[in-house]
Amino acid sequence: MLKDSLPEIITPLPGPKASAILKRREEAMPGAIKSVYPCVIRRGEGAMIEDVDGNRFLDWVGGVGVLNIGYSHPELIEAVKEQSEKYFHAMMNIVTHEGYIKLAEKMNQIVPLKSEEKKTMFANSGAEAIENAVKAARSFTGRPNIIVFSGAFHGRTLLTAAMTAKKSYASGLGPFPDGIYRAEFPYLYRKPEGYSEDEAMDYYMERLNKVFEEASPAEYVAAVVVEPVQGEGGFIPAPMEWVKAIRKVCDLHGILLVADEVQTGFARSGRMFVSDYWKEAGCAPDILVSAKSIAGGIPLSAVTASKEIFDGVKSGILGGTFGGNALACASALKVIEIIEREDLCSRSLEIAERCRREFLLWKEELKEVGDVRGIGCMMGIEFVEDQESKKPNGPLVSDIVTYCAQHGLLVESAGASSNVIRFLCPLVVSDAQIERGLEILRSAIETCR
């Protein structure tokens, strides 16, 4: 079966059928939707893709965090088929479908928030859910401003592009929505020279206070939006001590803490959400945004907030035609059931332990491996020219990505300088596939350095 197989490349890449389709892609699609991979999928199973020429790839990108339960889980196919035989769609402003309610109830049960009284609404994409979280926060607090961070990625709509740090995603698109202010994210690998971690924490909190002093007074701030592990920004975890300090500042000033768990959610971190760890440490968010793996590949996203927040949002402000689509809700209910039953949180920690051990070994042996970091299976390896200078080594990562793809392993870069390899493999990957993937990645680094 494809899901149990190992990567195998049997044609030059891209193969003849893939080349023909990629050529048509160039003609039919905007080039702005970028891709560097020579892979045209015919089918996927587990963590494996078979392309249209019969090549087999091990997928460690998983649709950028969408495929935590892997491709084509048989129970998921059944659940979506069963729903499709009843109805595809019922718009919640007109006709209520119970799948939406069931999924909202489930999310209210599993999403860790400061409040135990919760409500959930659904949208179609991560960006759309972030927009809705911002709308809810502004409507509830009656305040205009939002604080985001250096390195943040929250999407590509105009509001979320304004919230996103990397301005190459927004070049030439202004004017942007107002009221977005940026503070410095605690990127400990690149903390100010000579600072201890404690001193660095004080430094980052001072930077936030500067935003309150010089840009937006705290009483004008509706929400602080944080990725618990920055994704596009380079797989940088928010240190718990910093999150606790942010929670305190939010409580002091009546600001809502929003966790953007679009990429970190659904067992990726070893818990259903990183906010589970936050909650245990006494700093749970007020609003949690999730998407990507929630419905195993059918577009769906969610905003979960306290009842108090959602009940304080004016009528008509939230909603949309497809948000909480019936097929997507049926799929999400099954995804969550599978994650819980197959205990993919424990599997995430197991995979993480194996890979981290290997990555740390590479860090000892190879001067280009600067940092290994992450939470659970949301891991990144930051590449540098050498460990002393820490100069970002984007070209090396670009070569590694290309080498890996040519040898049947899909990996992706991240970070402001595209110098981080991110690890987002489906949590159903087999031990043999992990070992093979590690071999390919190691030989890519050794060949390309």
Place of tokens 């996103």: 164
**Residue 130 sits in the site that holds ligand PLP (CB under 6 A):** yes
Q: What's phi and psi for 434, nearest 5 deg?
A: -60, -45
Q: How many residues bind ligand PLP (CB under 6 A)?
A: 15
Only one of the segments 7-15, 126-134, 316-324, 330-338 lies at the binding site for ligand PLP (rule: CB under 6 A); that segment is: 126-134
Return the residue of 227, 358, 368, 412 that touches ligand PLP, per CB under 6 A: 227
Distance between CA 403 and CA 62 in Å, rounded? 18
Asked if 143 contacts 110 with a C-beta cutoff of 8 angstroms, the reply is: no
Only one of the segments 151-159, 200-208, 251-259, 327-335 lies at the binding site for ligand PLP (rule: CB under 6 A); that segment is: 151-159
**Residue 153 sits in the site that holds ligand PLP (CB under 6 A):** yes
**Residue 291 sits in the site that holds ligand PLP (CB under 6 A):** yes
Could you tell me whether strands 145-149 and 56-59 are parallel, antiparallel, or unpaired per DSSP bridges? Answer: unpaired
Task: For the CB of residue 280, give the shortest distance to ligand PLP in the complex, in Å.
Answer: 22
Only one of the segments 120-128, 168-176, 206-214, 355-363 lies at the binding site for ligand PLP (rule: CB under 6 A); that segment is: 120-128
* For ligand PLP, the closer CB: 13 or 146: 146
Distance between CA 371 and CA 363 in Å, rounded? 7
Task: For the CB of residue 322, give the shortest distance to ligand PLP in the complex, in Å.
Answer: 13
Query: Both tokens of residue 401?
Result: 């990505």
Return the residue of 155, 237, 265, 323 that touches ligand PLP, per CB under 6 A: 155
Residues of the chain by 3-state class (helix, strand, coil), percent to 5: 45, 20, 40
**Residue 290 sits in the site that holds ligand PLP (CB under 6 A):** no
* For ligand PLP, the closer CB: 130 or 332: 130
Return the residue of 45, 50, 131, 260 that touches ligand PLP, per CB under 6 A: 260
Q: What's phi and psi for 222, nearest 5 deg?
A: -80, -40
- Helix, strand, or coil (residue 440): helix
* For ligand PLP, the closer CB: 64 or 215: 64
**Residue 272 sits in the site that holds ligand PLP (CB under 6 A):** no
Task: For the CB of residue 19, give the shortest distance to ligand PLP in the complex, in Å.
Answer: 28
Rg (CA), the chain: 22
- Per-residue interface string for the shown chain with ligand PLP, residues 164-203, x marking contact by CB under 6 A: ----------------------------------------
Return the residue of 127, 165, 245, 284 that touches ligand PLP, per CB under 6 A: 127
Tell which positions 55-114 bind ligand PLP, by CB under 6 A.
64
Distance between CA 405 and CA 425 in Å, rounded? 14
Q: Is 47 exposed, middle or buried (0-12, 13-18, 19+ CB in 10 A)?
A: buried
- Concatenating the DSSP letter of every residue in 102-158 gives HHHHHHHHHS--SSSSEEEEEESSHHHHHHHHHHHHHHHH---EEEEETT----SSH
Q: Which residues bind ligand PLP (CB under 6 A)?
A: 64, 125-127, 130, 153-155, 227, 231-232, 260, 262-263, 291
